[in-house]
A and B are shown apart, each in its own frame.
Chain A
Amino acid sequence: MLPVTLGIENREQNKAAARILTVLSSFASNIRQFGISELSQHLGMTKNMVYRAIKTLEEQDYVIRDPAGQRYQLGFRVLELQNTFSPEPTFRTLCAPAMQQIHELTGETVSLTVRAHDFTVFIDGIETRQPGVWRLQIGALRPLHVNTTGHVMLAFLDDEEIEQYIRRHQHDEPAKDDMPLDPDLLWQDLHKIRRNGYATALRPGALPMLSLALPIWDAEDFLHGAMSVGGPNERFGPRFDVLLPQIQIMMQALCQRTRLYSANAAGSEITL
């Protein structure tokens, strides 16, 4: 029997097979076809390596040539790689690797949020072990206008939907520590988020907290939800400019996966 904590070391892997699987994994996106050179560039492998991997995959019908015979597309035999007994990945499992990566990169609290009507709901997260923890309350509902993830969700709605939201909540009594909804300030922030592709906020207080939130896109350019990371400004702030591009790359990789699914509320293809 194998030890429970089976380590994955390179020497234990079949290198040729690992390369073949890496090439096949490149097709797990909404890009339909690839040429050998593109794959070679994208994966940092020599053209010869990619060619040999593609030939193996083609022999087994996991990739096939496109109708013009010049490029390669996913083959029909990929459909055999299913197990009717095990569940499909949920939104949380899809996001888990990226959440872990961002936590390891920043050392700060990372959270995953979805929208429920006029609220954000925290559905998953990893709290930092450092002092000054941003408490994660799984299941907590917050109005969309009071936090960065909510602003991200609002920013990518239609203008009319945003106006309707403002009309519904303009006169709400703010909760403790929350600011009242100021339509002008909110619109300013939403325009900035649309320009930048992310939201930031500095929450004042005894220990000012800086947060960053980024959208998680679906197949039809709607949002599945948002990922946020944040911590004390004195710790997270000075590293922010260096960390941001790396976080954006991680989120791009995540969205390549989440864009395979539709978030349509009437019959979402993916469960939480």
Chain B
Amino acid sequence: MKTTKKPKRAAINSSAAHVFDVLRNVCDGAEPAGVSDISRRLSLTGSTVFRALTTLEASGYLSRYRNLPQFELGMMPYLLNRALLNQFELTAASRPFLQKLAWETGETVSLNVRLGWYSLRLSGIYGSRDIYHRDRLGELALLHQSLAGRAILAFLPEGTLPELADFLQKELGEKPAPAEWSALQAGIDLARERGVHAEVLQMSPGFSAVAIPVRDHTKTAIACITINGPVYPSETLQAQLAIRDDLERLIAATPERFVSPFAHIPAHKMRLQIPRTKLERDEFNRK
């Protein structure tokens, strides 16, 4: 993991910048980390890491793991994340609609919004069944890498896909494989035809989770409702779409209210390091 480069006209000294490097390193870890782990991973001295950990613990950004000299994320980052999600008017406004869908399907229902070239899980109502998906609010994924993101992509203007490919190549240094891109295009075409994007669930063969785009008054997707359970194909899809239509009518009535708080930031300037999932972490460790 790289440490922060000191800007030419830095507002703070470099050791203060290292505090954020240490924080991000703890965020990225699969297990609580101690001074020596972090010091090795960031190539920083033990005393710099120790002071950073002490500062972060005192400020509520890290907390001690089971009274050991190891640290895990504290409460403050979660509160900041939550505050950021609440900045979107859609978070609160969508809740009654998600609740209706959760009641009808018994499954976990989420609202994801577009944030630059990422999808962000903004709001969710958990399913009423004994076994349900407890997805994390604030989850991020590149648009082409999640069910919700692909549904949003399907209902963005023509020419968006090449722009995404350009972002991946220029900003993240990732060139999408042609086969992956063809499959994505085919999925998008099918979603446009059906009006929803569906993906087969491994644990429920023959049935799919579904992502329903939420569009603004210009019919551009700004968000997406996902129903995380075996709900497609279903005879009640029209009823589910009707609930989405009600949300779209609410957005169309006062579109300025639902503009993203990050709408003034160009999409290519929003580069985010997506927290690793367990699978990715295992794969990373194997390599």
| Interface residues, chain A, with chain B CB atoms under 8 Å away | 1-6, 8, 12-14, 16-18, 20-22, 24-25, 27-30, 32, 52-53, 55-56, 59-60, 62, 64, 67, 73-74, 76-86, 88-89, 93-94, 219-220, 257, 260-262, 264, 266-269
Query: Which residues from 12 to 38 on chain B have a C-beta closer than 8 Å to any C-beta of chain A?
Result: 12-13, 15-17, 19-20, 23-24, 26-31, 34-35
Kindly identify which residue among A14, A64, A266 contacts B103, using a CB–CB cutoff of 8 Å: A266
Closest to A18 in B: B55
Residue B102 lies at the interface, judged by CB distance under 8 Å to chain A: yes
B95 near A32 (CB under 8 angstroms)? no
Known contacts: A81-B27, A82-B27. The answer to whether A17 contacts B19 by CB under 8 A is: yes
Closest to B264 in A: A67
A28 near B80 (CB under 8 angstroms)? yes
B125 near A27 (CB under 8 angstroms)? no
Known contacts: A21-B59, A74-B87, A81-B27. The answer to whether A89 contacts B75 by CB under 8 A is: yes
Residues of B contacting A14 with CB < 8 Å? 15-16, 19, 51-52, 55
Bound CA–CA A3/B84 (angstroms):
36
Kindly identify which residue among A82, A220, A267 contacts B81, using a CB–CB cutoff of 8 Å: A82
Residue B86 lies at the interface, judged by CB distance under 8 Å to chain A: yes
Known contacts: A220-B92, A267-B125. The answer to whether A56 contacts B12 by CB under 8 A is: yes
B34 near A79 (CB under 8 angstroms)? no
Kindly identify which residue among A12, A55, A219 contacts B11, using a CB–CB cutoff of 8 Å: A55
A1 near B86 (CB under 8 angstroms)? no
Kindly identify which residue among A62, A85, A219, A260 contacts B79, using a CB–CB cutoff of 8 Å: A260
Known contacts: A260-B83, A266-B125. The answer to whether A8 contacts B54 by CB under 8 A is: yes
**Would you give the shortest CB distance from A263 to chain B, in whole angstroms?**
12
Bound CA–CA A264/B57 (angstroms):
31
Kindly identify which residue among B7, B98, B140, B276 contacts A79, using a CB–CB cutoff of 8 Å: B140
Task: Give me 27 A-to-B residue pairs in the complex whose CB atoms sit less than 8 angstroms apart, sorted by A's number.
Answer: A2-B69, A3-B69, A6-B64, A6-B69, A8-B58, A16-B15, A18-B55, A21-B19, A25-B76, A59-B10, A62-B20, A73-B87, A74-B83, A76-B272, A79-B140, A79-B272, A80-B27, A80-B272, A81-B80, A82-B136, A83-B73, A86-B73, A89-B75, A89-B78, A260-B83, A262-B95, A267-B124
A267 near B126 (CB under 8 angstroms)? yes
Residue B238 lies at the interface, judged by CB distance under 8 Å to chain A: no
Closest to B69 in A: A2
B59 near A219 (CB under 8 angstroms)? no
B80 near A52 (CB under 8 angstroms)? no
Known contacts: A25-B59, A219-B86. The answer to whether A81 contacts B81 by CB under 8 A is: yes
Known A21-B56, A78-B80, A81-B61; 19 more pairs at CB < 8 Å: A8-B57, A20-B12, A25-B60, A30-B86, A67-B264, A74-B84, A79-B115, A79-B272, A82-B275, A83-B73, A84-B278, A89-B78, A220-B92, A260-B82, A260-B83, A264-B99, A266-B99, A266-B125, A267-B99
Closest 9 CB pairs of A and B: A267-B125, A55-B11, A81-B77, A28-B79, A2-B69, A17-B16, A21-B59, A17-B19, A260-B82
Known contacts: A25-B76, A88-B78. The answer to whether A83 contacts B261 by CB under 8 A is: no
Closest to A268 in B: B126
What does the 1/0 interface line of B111-144 toward A look like (CB < 8 Å)? Answer: 0000110001000111010000000111010000
Residue B262 lies at the interface, judged by CB distance under 8 Å to chain A: yes
Question: Interface size of B by Cβ–Cβ distance < 8 Å?
Answer: 80
Bound CA–CA A79/B276 (angstroms):
13
Known contacts: A1-B69, A3-B69, A82-B136. The answer to whether A56 contacts B11 by CB under 8 A is: yes
Residue B277 lies at the interface, judged by CB distance under 8 Å to chain A: yes
Residue B179 lies at the interface, judged by CB distance under 8 Å to chain A: no
Bound CA–CA A18/B50 (angstroms):
14
Residues of A contacting B216 with CB < 8 Å? none
**Would you give the shortest CB distance from A162 to chain B, in whole angstroms?**
23
**Would you give the shortest CB distance from B95 to chain A, in whole angstroms?**
7
Most chain A CB within a 10 A radius of its CB, from B17, B31, B50, B98: B17
Residues of B contacting A56 with CB < 8 Å? 10-12, 16-17
Residues of A contacting B26 with CB < 8 Å? 83
Residue B270 lies at the interface, judged by CB distance under 8 Å to chain A: yes
Residues of A contacting B239 with CB < 8 Å? none
Residue B273 lies at the interface, judged by CB distance under 8 Å to chain A: yes
Bound CA–CA A20/B59 (angstroms):
10
Bound CA–CA A79/B88 (angstroms):
14
Bound CA–CA A14/B98 (angstroms):
44
Kindly identify which residue among A6, A55, A79 contacts B120, using a CB–CB cutoff of 8 Å: A79
Bound CA–CA A24/B12 (angstroms):
15
Kindly identify which residue among A20, A73, A93, A262 contacts B16, using a CB–CB cutoff of 8 Å: A20
Known contacts: A6-B69, A56-B12, A80-B273. The answer to whether A29 contacts B83 by CB under 8 A is: yes
B16 near A16 (CB under 8 angstroms)? yes
Residues of A contacting B120 with CB < 8 Å? 79
A85 near B61 (CB under 8 angstroms)? no
Closest to A65 in B: B264
Residues of A contacting B23 with CB < 8 Å? 81
Residues of A contacting B31 with CB < 8 Å? 85
